[in-house]
Chain A
Amino acid sequence: MSTAVEARGLGKRYRRRWALSDCSVTVPTGHVVGLVGPNGAGKTTLLQLAVGLLVPSSGTIEVFGKPPAEDAGILGRVGFVAQDTPTYSSLSIADHLKLGAHLNPRWDGDTARHRIEKLGLDPAQHAGKLSGGERAQLALTMALAKHPDLLILDEPVASLDPLARREFLQTLMEDVAAHDLGVMLSSHLVADIERVCDYLVVLVDSRVQVSGDVDELLASHHRLVGPRDPGAPPPACQEVIDASHTERQTTLIVRSDGPVVDPAWTIESTSLEDLVLAYMTRGSKSHGTARASVPGAET
């Protein structure tokens, strides 16, 4: 399995504040990778470093084995849609497609036109007059028509209403299937990640808490429910990710590569959301930053 994005000791500082520090992560090619984490974890910073919009303050990041934005070739292999889905408000949709054709040697004009047609958008319409969802679709169309090997989307559905969000993700998945490309998208909504991603990276306070194939993660994590007994040792051979207690019972999220056999506990499978929340809780505890609310529970 080859590597699409590899970061080592990556950090980005704005004046005195580190938006991302000492982040190491490897993202394989050919997956739809969900980057999930609370607000301020450094997701946007990591993605902008990966497309070369930002330059690292420390460490390195490589995309397909090269520093991002080093030359036109590597720029052409990566498509990007920023969080605010920027477009030129005074240019029409048709102008945007022309722009893409002039600026990208791998541009696929037919795909772009078909996609705009399918979305029911008028090519003569100015981008400034589009709704948030339509603008996001235009930005995604441009990124897809670039014919990238890797598509990076920063909170692609954050500004969309639930219906538009579902449509956006659906069209995205159709395009991914049709063009055989890798995707890396960030979200703080686990439900969106669950719907489209087959690979997960949980980022809390710049650190990767866990990363891996979604099916493998689900298979190796379990939810254990048992009576509350502060004195009892944790189940053997298992890593406890998170423990929560009510007055009578204790719920654990544990990681175990083998089957869990322990009569003291009721063993259940975990949902992806429970898994993500467990890692996010652990991540924020280990950094001593108590968070009043855990984003990701917003769905």
Chain B
Amino acid sequence: MTWLAWRQFRTQAVAALVLLGAVALTLAVTRPGLASSFQIALHCKGVQACASARSEFFAKDSLLRHLANALALAVPALIGVFWGAPLIARELENGSFRLAWTQSVTRSRWMLVKLGVVGTASMLAAGLFSLAVTWWSSMYDQLQDSPFQQYDSRGIVLIGYAAFAFTLGVALGAILRRTLPAMAATFLVFFAVHITFSTWLRQRLLSPLHATSPFHWTPMGYQLGPPNPADWALGTEVVSPTGHALGQLGQGSLFEGFQIHAGTLIFQGVGACRVKVPAESLRTGNISQAVQQACVASFHLHQVTTYQPASRYWTFQWIELGLFIVLALLLAAASTWWVRRRLP
């Protein structure tokens, strides 16, 4: 059975190897140039020189960098669409399942071997690809603020995404019984799950930390962010001295400026200033910076930043890999059951 699974997969495997080879070659050829530019940016002296060295480094191969990041996002989806969805659907579509399922091999075994061979290849391909991109981008990532910025196109999560996308394609192919609709559905469902994970679920996998600091406000704005720029900031809340939450920073016009209402100066989102304001300013609306800062300071506000520390990066990667592997195993079991009991 392994022979048949491999024979049917051979062409696709060769195509993937060629693609992977081309990507690896491109990255290997361009990396030395990046490295020299990186050394200049790393050992720069003087603010001006450093800024220009950094921007020069970030401009270098930026198209290739965006392409590699996009491809890293796309690889699991491509595996699901081109390897997963047709695995069963094509057999159902052209009737060859009647040949396959009447050989001396039970359907369960047929399914398990097919899932095993192509599933392993999927994870291997995604892993190798991720390795190449992570290696090539390591210098960029070192100069980036946070590793979480490129979280889902680096590391081991791509292996989990690939396993999930592949089994999702297999299951949808078995249920829909047609290759093209299964491919489209796989693409849509995979990205729906991916987006749900990256925008909503991932930050809830581990309970975040909170950092409290005095509310820094200048006429130029306020200072957002976690203690360490590499941390993953989830939001910053402004809190009154009594512990009353006033609102999130950066949402709407809260804490952004002042209003004059019925002869009093009001700090937006908080209330009337408790400092003396010159009558002249109240009339003209021209309020000095000193008055503004004194007004904000008079409230004794705090800001509480919710964040995931940068040290949790690999914990997140392992948890997410585990979750997607579990999802993939569930989908594999469900599609095996479906093939045994519900088909044709």
Contact = CB atoms under 8 A, between A and B. Distances in A.
B137 to A, nearest CB: 38
Contacts of A102: 1-4
12 contacts: A52-B101, A53-B102, A53-B344, A75-B105, A80-B98, A84-B95, A87-B96, A99-B103, A102-B4, A103-B104, A103-B105, A146-B103
A236 B16 CA distance: 79
Q: At the interface, is chain A mostly helix, strand, loop or mixed?
A: loop
Contacts of B1: 102-103
A146 B105 CA distance: 12
B99 A139 contact: yes
B65 interface: no
Given A82-B95, A86-B94, A99-B3, A72 B105 contact: yes
Given A53-B102, A75-B103, 17 more contacts: A51-B102, A53-B98, A53-B101, A78-B102, A84-B95, A86-B94, A86-B95, A87-B96, A89-B94, A98-B3, A102-B1, A102-B2, A102-B4, A103-B104, A103-B105, A104-B103, A105-B104
Interface in A72-120: 72-73, 75-76, 78-80, 82, 84, 86-91, 95, 98-100, 102-106
Interface string B3-26: 110011001000000000000000
B341 interface: yes
B159 to A, nearest CB: 29
A240 interface: no
B269 to A, nearest CB: 60
Which among A69, A87, A99 has the greatest number of chain B C-beta atoms within 10 A? A99
B99 A86 contact: yes
A71 interface: yes
Contacts of A88: 8, 96, 99
Contact of A82 (B7, B98, B109): B98
Nearest to A104: B104
Interface residues of B, number: 23
B102 A75 contact: yes
Contacts of B105: 72, 75, 103
B106 interface: yes
A169 interface: no
A86 B341 contact: no
Contacts of B103: 75, 99-100, 103-104, 146
A237 B167 CA distance: 66
A75 B103 CA distance: 6
A54 interface: yes
A28 B36 CA distance: 82
Interface string B252-291: 0000000000000000000000000000000000000000
Contacts of B95: 82, 84, 86
B107 interface: yes
A7 interface: no
A143 B2 CA distance: 20
A142 interface: yes
B99 A69 contact: no
B99 A142 contact: yes
Contacts of A73: 104
B204 to A, nearest CB: 42
Nearest to B109: A72
Which among B3, B104, B105, B344 has the greatest number of chain A C-beta atoms within 10 A? B104
A146 B103 CA distance: 8
B102 A80 contact: yes
B82 to A, nearest CB: 15
Contacts of A105: 104
A99 to B, nearest CB: 5
B181 to A, nearest CB: 19
A80 B341 CA distance: 20
A121 B331 CA distance: 42
Contacts of A100: 103
Contacts of B11: 90
A54 B101 CA distance: 11
Contacts of A89: 94
A86 B92 CA distance: 11
A158 interface: no
A82 B103 CA distance: 12
B170 to A, nearest CB: 18
Contacts of A55: 341
A265 B4 CA distance: 64
Q: Rank and list the top 10 A-B pairs by shortest CB-CB distance, nearest first.
A: A76-B104, A103-B103, A82-B98, A86-B95, A80-B102, A102-B3, A104-B104, A86-B99, A75-B104, A86-B96
Nearest to A55: B341
Contacts of B106: 69, 71-72, 75
